[in-house]
Structure 1
Amino acid sequence: MTAILLIVAGCIGLYGAFKLVNEKYELLEHPTKALGCDINPFVSCSTVIDSWQSHLFGFPNPIIGVAGFVAPIAVGVSILAGAKFARWYWVAFNIGLFLAWVFVTWLFTQTVFSIGALCPWCMLVWSATIPLFWVFTVWNLANGNLTKNAALQRRMRAFLPYSWVIPLINYLVIIVIVIQHFPTLLTTLFG
């Protein structure tokens, strides 16, 4: 189950990051043309792509996603193939997923509170990263890769089938913040 999540969420995130790279190149080639994902003032890729936050490390952030989302896909396929990895590998991979979650959480706060617009492709990347981190962390704890505490491992094994609750809560927090910050967004989108 976790392997499938890694593969599917990795592919979704990779697709979103790739679309963002394409949109960035489209904007560079045609700076005055509206992008296909520029729906209204609240949902606008170009507003987000043109912000300083979208180039945090001096190059477009989606390039990190295009490179980074290959990792969960590869790890998921490896798990399905029966590969066994050392504990350090699982810890390092979990740290990578944590850093990705921190990064998309920061990007979310920047788009809502500083930029004032939402990007559909960015939201797709967020939606893939959130379950990757939370569910994989529970799986890693359940399998003893992050702790040797037997009681915690047992609790995480029991909780693993319900680990989807944590990403759901994360999504709900995002939805509530978006609705509170953009109260007219729903009427703008749905009429």
Structure 2
Amino acid sequence: MSLQTTGKKPVLTAVLLIVAGVIGFYGSFKLVVEKYDLLEHPTKALSCDINPFVSCSTVIDSWQSHLFGFPNPILGVAGFVAPIAVGISILAGARFARWYWIAFNAGLFLAWVFVTWLFTQTVFAIGALCPWCMLVWSATIPLFWIFTVWNLANGHVTRNATLQRRMRAFLPYSWVIVLINYLIIVIIILKHFPCSSRPSSADPDRRSPARRS
């Protein structure tokens, strides 16, 4: 794997931005659709309500899913347009100012922090997992880690020549950070969600009165 740093158009970087952006956008859009479906049919189980531990409706009904006063997926639908646009622009040969790369990287960092917080909330507070949320996580993680390494390697974030050289050497192996991030999530999920016959919150008959009202 080689994400070019100088002299050539960074095609793989652009492809990463576009593919991950599309995946994240799709996951966010599906969450918006599920939220709309939930509002229309409050007592009906959603298509992603699979079992007691994998239940979109449980997550969508939580206060964490409306952290800023509106459904979080709206942020994803709007936000994932950015990496898609940047990726297409790179393929078209566009060049951006240093401040733009720093701002874009800062946005990816905030997105990673947000999905990491949402992950901890779904596992430790809500007690259920949402498949579409996990799809958004899976797109955000490589977007942030790999692009950050690429950005450092190209000197967009720092002028430190030693750091740039080290990041260029590490760039082909930047997927290792992504893999570690994924593994941490998987291990926590497997440890926190043992097999259990606990009643499903996705069961329409077990939903809260507020959901049935």
Q: Distance in 2 between matches of 1:78 and 1:184?
A: 47
Aligned mates of 1:3, 1:147 — CA distance in 2:
21
1:118 is paired with a residue whose SS is coil
2:181 maps to: 170
Q: Which has the higher helix share?
A: 1
Specify the SS of the correspondent of 2:106.
helix
Matched residue, 2:122: 111
CA displacement, residues 6-43 of structure 1 (integer Å, 9 cap, x when unaligned): 00000000000000000000000000000000000100
The SS at the match of 2:52 is coil
Give the Å deviation of 1:82. 1.0
> Does 1:141 find its partner at 2:149?
no
Q: Give 1:106 deviation, angstroms.
A: 0.2
Distance 1:39 1:97 in 2: 30
CA deviation map 1:38-81 (0-9, x unaligned): 00010000000000000000000000000000000000111111
Aligned residue type for 1:102: V
The letter of the residue matching 1:37 is C
AA in 2 matched with 1:100: A
Indicate the residue corresponding to 1:18 in structure 2. Answer: 29
Partner of 1:189: none
**Aligned twin of 2:63:** 52
SS at match of 1:183: coil
Q: Structure 1 residue 82 and structure 2 residue 93: aligned?
A: yes
Q: Give SS of 1:82's match.
A: coil
- Looking at structure 2, the residues matched to 154 and 4 of structure 1 have their Cα atoms a distance apart, in angstroms, of 23
C-alpha distance in structure 2 between counterparts of 1:74 and 1:184, whole Å: 42
Match of residue 156 from structure 1: 167
Larger radius of gyration: 2
TM-score under structure 2 length normalisation: 0.86
Counting matched residue pairs gives 185
Letter in 1 for 2:149: V
Deviations 1:100-123 (A, max 9, x none): 000000000000000000000000
In 2: Cα distance, 1:68 partner to 1:11 partner: 11
Q: Which residue type is aligned with residue 140 of structure 1?
A: N
Q: Aligned partner of 1:136: which letter?
A: F
Root mean square deviation of aligned Cα: 0.7
How far did residue 136 of structure 1 move? 0.3
Structure 1 residue identity aligned to 2:147: F
Distance 2:28 2:70 in 1: 13
Partner Cα separation in structure 1 for residue 165 and residue 89 of structure 2: 25
Gap regions ≥5 residues in structure 2: 1-11, 197-213
Taking every aligned residue pair, what percent have the same amino acid on both sides?
A: 85
